[in-house]
Each structure stands twice: as C-alpha cells, then as structure tokens.
Amino acid sequence: MPNDPPDIPSDQLPRHVAVIMDGNGRWAEKRGLPRIEGHRAGATSVRRVTEECARLGIEQLTLFCLSSENWKRPAEELDFLMQLLQHYLAEERPRVMEHNVQVRWIGRRKGLPDDAARGLDEIVEYSAGNTGLRVCLAINYGGRAELVDAARRLAEGVVRGELDPDAIDEQALAARLYTAGLPDPDLLIRTAGEMRVSNFLLWQISYAEIWVTDVCWPDFDEAQFQAALQSYASRRRRFGGLPT
C-alpha cells in the first residue's frame, strides 16, 4: 500500500465511488481453482479498497456484491457466497470501528436467507454511530427492481390520498429509492473488462464517470484504484451543459 495519497486535490476526488466487482470466477478458473476461491480472494480486495477510501476521505463506497439475477448460479456457489458474507461481516467489525466506517445495505430483503439478512442488520446497527466513510453493500439488488419498488411506493401514496399524481417528479421518485438520502455516484468502476452496467444503480449513475479495467476483482489493488481516481480527476464534468 502506498504511503502517501495520490497527488489529487481533495476537491477533485469523487464523493461517491460505486464498483461492479467482476471477474472472481474467471480469476479462479485461470488458476485452476474452484470459482469459490475467486470469491474468497475478492474479499481481500474489498478490504483494500475500503481502507483506501477511508484514508483518502472519500464519502461513500457502494459495492455490487450480489445481484438479484445471481440466484441463477449453482446452489453450491450461492451457499458459499452467503457463508462468506456472514464470515466477512463478523470478521470486519474491528476494522469497521477502527476506520470509523458506517455500513449500509441496499436490495430486496425478500429472497435473502434469514441469517444473511440478520448479519447485515447487525453490522448496520453496530456501525450506525460512525461518521467516516459510508460503505453501502448492494446485496440481492437489481436496478430495475429498485425502480419498480419505488413506483409501487408512489402508487401507494396516490391511492392513500397522500400524493397528487401531478406532484410526482424526479425528487419524489428518488426519495423512494433504496438509496434515498445518499449521494449519487460520481465514479463507477467496473473490473474484468466488461463494458456494461449490469442493472446496477440505473437511476443513480445517470451522470457518473465510468472507468473500466481488464483486471479481475481479486487483483484490483490500491494502484488500480488510484489510476481510476486520476482518470476521474482529469475529466470535465458538464452534466449536460457547457464548461464555464
């Protein structure tokens, strides 16, 4: 790990970095290992990037851990992922407190094993008083499902007479997303070279800068992360307008 932060002014760092952590299975297969060993190695990269974000003063890190579509994978792999999640949540508690990290999680509770949901609830409650980096874990998450759930909440408000349909705007919908109250991502990182967003934070990444690397997630380290930050700092963000 480098001893000094990258030479980027703090006002040019992203407030919120979102990561599609891809390539665990391919990393393992290239080494003749079971896919589950790629997931185990990927947990180390989660720790590295989380600590680097905390060190640099980045406000939020959102990690795409398990999509709602991933339940199509073999049962053995899914069972291991749930066990790894619970082990990771328990093992990381001391580091969460040491680095003043607040943990959140987004996604549908329905369909998530009770033990996993309980472990997530516990670390969210355990870290609620921390004031540093916010780490948001997207688990059993899908961007389209999130929009459906938000639309359902809007419809329920209209039916109850609490909301005028003509008053529904972007702010009203955003307030009913899983991420309500959280900043939108400034930078979206995807590992393993895939050039798609895979149903991740579809509403929230409307103006995010995207950075893709061929490096698989288990090999993603501080140097890779800092390269993404340097690329972000070099870009001119217009948000549909013209630079002044």
pLDDT tens-digit readout, 78-107: 898 899 899 889 999 999 999 999 999 999
* pTM for the full predicted model: 0.92
Per-residue pLDDT band for 4 (boundaries 50, 70, 90) equals low
Per the structure, the complete domain to which residue 30 belongs is given by 13-233
* 101 located within any domain: yes
- Collect contacts of 88-96 with beta carbons under 8 A, ≥24 apart: 88/43, 88/46, 89/119, 89/120, 89/122, 89/123, 90/119, 92/47, 92/123, 93/123, 93/126, 95/47, 95/50, 95/51, 96/123, 96/126, 96/127, 96/130
Residue 193: count of CB within 10 angstroms of its CB: 13
Label residue 105 left, alpha or beta by phi (over 0 means left) and psi (-120 to 50 means alpha): beta
**pLDDT band at residue 1 using 50, 70 and 90 as cut-offs:** very low
64 within some domain: yes
Mean pLDDT of 201-229: 97
The structural domain count of the chain equals 1
Helix (H, G, I), strand (E, B) or coil at 169: coil
Establish if 239 belongs to a structural domain: no
CATH of the domain at 42: 3.40.1180.10
The mean pLDDT of 206-233, rounded to a whole number, is 97
Q: What share of the chain is helix, strand, coil (3-state, %, to 5)?
A: 45, 15, 40
Residues 23-37: pLDDT tens digits?
Answer: 999 999 999 999 999
CA atoms within 13 A on the CB side of 161: 0
Task: Mention every residue, 6+ apart, whose C-beta is less than 8 A from residue 127.
Answer: 96, 97, 101, 102, 103
Q: Quick check: is 145 in a domain?
A: yes
Q: Look at residue 1 and tell me if it is in a domain.
A: no
Q: Is 70 a catalytic residue?
A: yes
Q: Are 135 and 102 in contact (CB under 8 A)?
A: yes
Where residue 116 falls among pLDDT bands split at 50, 70, 90? very high
The one catalytic residue among 4, 7, 70, 164:
70
With a pLDDT cut of 70, the percent of the chain lying above it is 95
Q: Is residue 122 part of a domain?
A: yes
Report the pLDDT value the prediction gives residue 103, as an integer from 0 to 100: 97
Asked if the structure places residue 149 within a domain, the reply is: yes
2 falls within a domain: no
**Per annotation, catalytic residue among 3, 4, 22, 24:** 22
pLDDT at 148: 97
